[in-house]
Structure 1
Amino acid sequence: MTTPGNNGEQTPSAPQGDDDPFGYLYEDGQAAGATPPSGGGGYGYPGPRSSYNQVRAVGDRRPAYGQQQAQQTYGQQVPQQPYGGPNAHYAAPETQPGGAPQYTPAPAGTGGGRGRGPNTKGLLIGAIAVVAVVAIGIGAAMLSGGGDEGGDADAGGKPSEASTVEPSEKPSKPGKDPVDLPKTDAKALKLDGGTTTASDIGGAESAGGVYVAGLDKVGAQVTWTVNGIPEGGTYSLRVRYGVPGKDANANIIVNGKKETRPLNMKNFAGAEEGDWEKGWTNTYAVIQLNKGTNTVALACDQSNICGANLDQMWLVEGSQG
């Protein structure tokens, strides 16, 4: 029966003496007479050829018992040696069978040789040169192709478009020469309704400083018979007049027909009121005339403010102001 503190007879006891194969490693084993084995092959002990379990001193490079030192040949990896120390297994290539390997130097410019790769820079330059030559050739072919088409057309006898253009049979119409249109002054006008000529106000440009006065009365009228109109059309009637510092107007009658708009005789000169001499200025109106002879009249009725003196009248072709 097993009781606390008593493990019974079945409890195994520690091996004594030689019963423990590793007893020689402990003090109690050595005291019991355990000794290390003298030879290999026994239980728990490696044979004499298993050098990896044999105890060596640090730095001992001798080969294991029973083994020959392998000869290091050229080209095989040399075990790493301590920094600055000699290689115990190193043998110069000259001492090996066949001597040192022979190297043949590569020709200059081939890009070969020991420790050098292919000449990639030269290959890149060559490739760029080839691409440039191809591009130039394509451009030249395109340019020469366009020229060949034109040359073929000429060789075939087909005229170009420029050669088919013929000069115009009808010459262009030359521009009109300036037309000298009629002009008149106060002494050549027909006076009606109380109008009269005068010269006491300075500034008139008619011969002798003569102008037409009295147009400020209702029914007053002056008529100009216009001869030599080259062709019917639009003309501009120009009138030089003078007002006493205030605006005036008069009806326009062309070939017996009254125009819808009167002749504007505004105080464009900016003369002060009552100053006839400083009130001379110009105005115009667009009218339609027939070829040959026409009559143009300026008349005053109750709808007009006709206080103006008339100096000269002339025509300009077109509707120019």
Structure 2
Amino acid sequence: MTSGTNGANTPPEDDDPFGYLYADGQANGAQPPSGGYGYPGSVNRVRAVGQRQYGQQPPQQTAPYGQVPQQQGAYGQPNNAHYAAPETFPGGAPTTQHPQQGYGGGGGGRGRGPNTKGLLIGAIAVVAAVVIGIGVAMLGGDGDDDASGNQASTTPSAQQSSEPSQAASSAPADEDDLPAIDAKALALSPGLTTATDVQGAKADGGVYVNGFNTVGASITWNVSGIPKTGKYTLYTGYSVPGKDATATLTINGTASTTPVGMDNYAKAAEGDYAKGWTQTYNYVQLNKGSNTIKVSCEQGNQCDALLDQMWLVKGWVKS
């Protein structure tokens, strides 16, 4: 059987639909179907390659049978001159590209990596917390200026000046608001009395303690209102009759090894109490709050003296 047509009256199904592809079919006058591949008038009319046009582009020219069409596209471009991307067709896919969100919800484009701003804020917060903690610790470290702690020394220190003022001064009521006391407010041991006969006492009303020149005699000051534990200077106002005297100092039940030195700093003549008024001092350690201060005449003391005042000054100072 040769390719071609069986004649005009031959039914289409006896014709070779591809006879036009062979030389003998072409010699017999076989023609390609006008409606595309398959039988003439078939429903599925497929156009030959290159006949479909998109837009306003010119129709593709087909090369003669047996020849390869010339490649028209440049390197990297489609060979088919009539090729067009789907988005160029009417109603085609949109060409707008949505930018990719960056890491952590940032702007468009490529991912930006971790959010370093948040890490920096966290680091600053940690440093601030450390600095605040150090500041609180430094503020809380303030304590008493007494290096020995909050407990008073069990052995009070006492020391007299070598040259106190020649005249006794009144107890300074405004000296850091520390307590002071006159003779009439002191607790006296049996046998002691107060008097005003000798002139020159600085206590209120010129009152002084008389009869101290006896072993066992004592005056006691139960002092309260000490602001904090630490060092204080205890002043004692007195008069001696032209000669030196001594007494024993006891703080909170502990006797000091240093006596209360009542020298004749006023240079009074012997027996002249009125000219012998002056003052002395001792360094002491006191507890915060209440303390007991006692001046007594003990064995070995020379106690011929009149006492009129006692007062405190903050710190260890000289007259």
Report the TM-score range of the alignment, normalised by the length of the smaller protein: 0.3 to 0.5
Higher RCO, Cα 8 Å, sep 6+ = 2
Structure with max Cα Rg: 1
- TM-score (structure 1 length as normaliser): 0.45
- Between Structure 1 and Structure 2, which shows a larger proportion of helix residues? 1
